[in-house]
Amino acid sequence: MVKPKSDFDRIVTKEGRTPVPASIRDVAQRAGVSVGTVSNVLNRPEEVSSESVQRVNRAIEELGYVRNDAARKLRGGISSTVGFVVLDGQNPFYTDVVRGAEDEGTRHNIAILYGNTDEDPARERVYLDLFEEQQVRGVLIAPYGDIATRLQRLRARGIAAVLVDRFSGDGRFSSVSVDNVMGGRMAVEHLIEIGRRRIAFVGGPFDIRQVNDRLAGARVAAENASRPLEIEVIATQAMTVEQGAAAGARILARPRRDWPDAVFAGNDLLALGLLQSLIVEGRMLVPDEIAIIGFDDIPFAAAAAVPLSSMRQPSRMIGRTALRILLEEAADPESIARRTVFQPELVVRRSTSG
Amino acid sequence: MVKPKSDFDRIVTKEGRTPVPASIRDVAQRAGVSVGTVSNVLNRPEEVSSESVQRVNRAIEELGYVRNDAARKLRGGISSTVGFVVLDGQNPFYTDVVRGAEDEGTRHNIAILYGNTDEDPARERVYLDLFEEQQVRGVLIAPYGDIATRLQRLRARGIAAVLVDRFSGDGRFSSVSVDNVMGGRMAVEHLIEIGRRRIAFVGGPFDIRQVNDRLAGARVAAENASRPLEIEVIATQAMTVEQGAAAGARILARPRRDWPDAVFAGNDLLALGLLQSLIVEGRMLVPDEIAIIGFDDIPFAAAAAVPLSSMRQPSRMIGRTALRILLEEAADPESIARRTVFQPELVVRRSTSG
DNA sequence: TGAAAAACTTGAATCGATTCAGTCGATTTC
DNA sequence: GAAATCGACTGAATCGATTCAAGTTTTTCA
């Protein structure tokens, strides 16, 4: 076992300073006040005379004091970390959501414990365990499996949870997401508006709630059209670029007259894969032969060779809002769960302006 | 101030269970042993009789006991979190590196505190402060500014640090990176090999070490060519898709005969931006008129409309290795800093096979 | 059989921030 | 002038896991 102290001593002798982490007691001594006063300066400066505040702050400065979050947590004070369990860390959409949470976090001096599950329920559990051990202030989670009971247990331990990008069936937890049904509907309405009739939905697996919702919305649009139409479903095993390209290849393998003239992809990764595959003999079929619209509006959508139309999610805003709600709930355990739903926004680019 | 306990009580009465977090003392009582024994079961089961191990484990199971990491940390035990400060969280390359660190982390039951600095030295400092407060086991950092002194201070507090994707000038800290000079050289050698002569480097700002190194390597290749050539430098303000597209626009604005016939982009984001911009009147200039090679081989490189040649970095491996070294150093403060350098690998795709 | 060694177990002390009942003066009130 | 009020400060007790010197039981072997 390493003894940090002895290491510090070693450094002391070497550099002549005293880098043994200063405790609140050291600060109190140097400032000539009690530990209680130092703690008050740290936490409720308004209750301390300005003279004491100054002296304490000077001592803190001189000693390079840094608060020990472990001790703070232990005594029952609240933790200054929040866990974020992400479904697919590789997807820029989630990167953006995390970024939003981060932004809000730094404003409250909160750090984010990050966990990427890659749609693996086992990893999901591992991270929730880890976060429980850490006694985080709360957990943001873009869930894959069914974690209601797990979250319930965390709550019993005083750890709040907010669902991201999805809501809980029973409404027992707050959530921040986008109206996926509406998004699906708007996407397909747009395709119909630009005159497409043979519309396909590419996406899957359908046990991912978001996928289902987007398809459902697409169907609503199809039925409500002045001349109703059918949505063909081309199922994929995942929402990745590779799967998108594979789906594209399957489309191209059909006789020409069976091609759809527009595809609504379950997310932008799929759409990018499709885009890549829809080049025949150096000619890009998008948007003239086949229009494509995606979902999420990740940064790469605009940057694609044929800039991609997409349903924009306010991803950073989702992250920020989720963290804000989480902090509120952590502060007030009596608070009632609420659902926050943002509206997606249609972003038209070249892939659907043929 | 919220009193978690009272909330638990409320739940107790509601659900009839006792979700007050069980402590090691509760476990000891239930198992009929002392707290010391429970702690031993948790930390050195080989020193405890198998009967006790069983009883303790049963009690743990029954009570739903979860170790309190704060208490553990406080007593001087080691923390089970590690901080990771990332230069550009939006860049899939770093996402991958984090993923690698995560993989290694879960093997050691370690969670990652994540901080994205977006090349902002102020944020860099904020995160290092936060991590210090958390008393993390160590810090992985892809640094932007000069943080030698800051890291030195962390080290004095017993917090190890490993640089990622870059090494420290004075070699006082371990680092895991790729040989950027070699990568730049290989990229340009490849361009020369496919018969290109008017080669440009797109990248910047040059106070990012990696950029400098890659350019330096490119120049070595240019000088060593059988017929030496000059590398034109097209400077960008950042390594983003937008900047890449802007650089592309500047190239297209020139008279045709002043175009380069190949571009080595400082990273894949720039390359993708370039790719996007190099479509003139629906015709893709890549690779016939202008070949492009990037750096990093992010997943989107292969998925681009014209699949992008790139210098692959073993990004996950970098993350895993960095974390492994960090843990070793955290365990042994006497250990000496070492530099780990991986070789990049040339991945040829259509953007350079004209 | 008895003594020494080995194997386990115990429980008080410890880490550092927070809290809160209580102390101390100074000021105000009646 | 005594009592009440107020503001500022104090410091012992607390949280839970770990450690380790000391204690107890079991095993080993002459």
| pLDDT tens column, B245-260 | 999 999 999 999 999 9
Cβ contact B340 with chain D strand, < 7 A: no
Report CB contact under 8 Å: B112, A115: yes
Q: What is the mean pLDDT of residues B60-86?
A: 91
> Quick check: B78 CB within 7 A of strand D?
no
CA dist B77 and B106 (Å) reads: 19
Q: Do A90 and B90 touch (CB under 8 A)?
A: no
Q: What is the DSSP letter of B177?
A: E
Which residues of chain B neighbour A114 with C-beta distances below 8 Å?
84, 98, 102, 111-114
Give the tens place of pLDDT for each residue, B242-299: 999 999 999 999 999 999 999 999 999 999 999 989 987 767 898 999 999 999 999 9
For strand D, is any atom closer than 7 Å to the CB of B331? no
Does residue B57 carry a pLDDT above 70?
yes
Query: What is the per-residue pLDDT across B98-111, written as a single tens digit (0 to 9) for each?
Result: 999 999 999 999 99
Token digits for A96? 């953006």
B2 pLDDT above the threshold of 80: no
Chain B window 18-57, residues with Cβ within 7 A of nucleic strand D: 21, 23-25, 35-36, 38-40, 42-43
The protein residue nearest D17 (Cα–C1') is B72
Residue B9 has pLDDT above 60, yes or no: no
The pLDDT value recorded for residue B77 is: 74
Cα–Cα distance measured from residue B21 to residue A76, given in angstroms and rounded to the nearest whole number: 12
Q: Name the residue facing B305 among A115, A116, A305 (closest C-beta).
A: A305
Residue B4: pLDDT above 50?
A: no
Residue B157 pLDDT greater than 70, yes or no: yes
Task: Give pLDDT < 50 ranges for chain A.
Answer: 1-18
pLDDT of residue B354: 64
Using CA atoms, how far residue A274 sits from A184, A199, A238, in Å, is: 18, 14, 13
Rounded CA separation B55/A152 (Å): 27
Give the pLDDT of residue B3. 34
Amino acid letter for position B198? R
Counting residues of chain B whose pLDDT is more than 90, the rounded percentage is 78
In angstroms, the CA of A291 and the C1' of C12 are apart by 75
Least Cα distance to A130 among B113, B329, B39 occurs for B113
Q: Residue B305 above 90 pLDDT?
A: no
**pLDDT of B341 over the 50 cut:** yes
pLDDT of residue B230: 96
Confidence band for B6, pLDDT divided at 50, 70 and 90? very low
Reported pTM: 0.90
CB contact under 8 A, B81 and A241: no
Q: How confident is the model at residue B15 (pLDDT cuts 50, 70, 90)?
A: very low
3-state secondary structure labels for all residues of chain A: CCCHHHHHHHHHHHHCCCCCCCCHHHHHHHHCCCHHHHHHHHHCHHHCCHHHHHHHHHHHHHHCCCCCHHHHHHCCCCCCEEEEEECCCCCHHHHHHHHHHHHHHHHCCCEEEEEECCCCHHHHHHHHHHHHHCCCCEEEECCCCCCHHHHHHHHHCCCEEEEECCCCCCCCCEEEEECHHHHHHHHHHHHHHCCCCCEEEEECCCCCHHHHHHHHHHHHHHHHCCCCCCEEEEECCCCCHHHHHHHHHHHHCCCHHHCCCEEEECCHHHHHHHHHHCEECCEECCCCCCEEEEEECCHHHHHCCCCCEEEECCHHHHHHHHHHHHHHHHHCCCCCCCEEEECCEEECCHHHCC
What pLDDT does residue B19 have? 54
Residues of A in contact with B156 (CB under 8 A): 8, 11, 15, 17, 19
What pLDDT was estimated at residue A19?
54
pLDDT of A78: 83
- Residues in chain A within 8 Å Cβ distance of B319: none
Q: Give the per-residue pLDDT at B167.
A: 84
Among B7, B127, B132, whose Cβ lies nearest the Cβ of A333? B7
CA A306 from chain centre, in angstroms, equals 27
CA distance A267 to B275: 22
- CA of residue B195 to C1' of nucleotide D16, angstroms: 69
Is the pLDDT higher at A14 or at B204?
B204
Q: Does A42 contact strand C, using a CB cutoff of 7 Å?
A: yes
Chain B residues whose CB is inside 8 A of the A8 CB are: 156-158
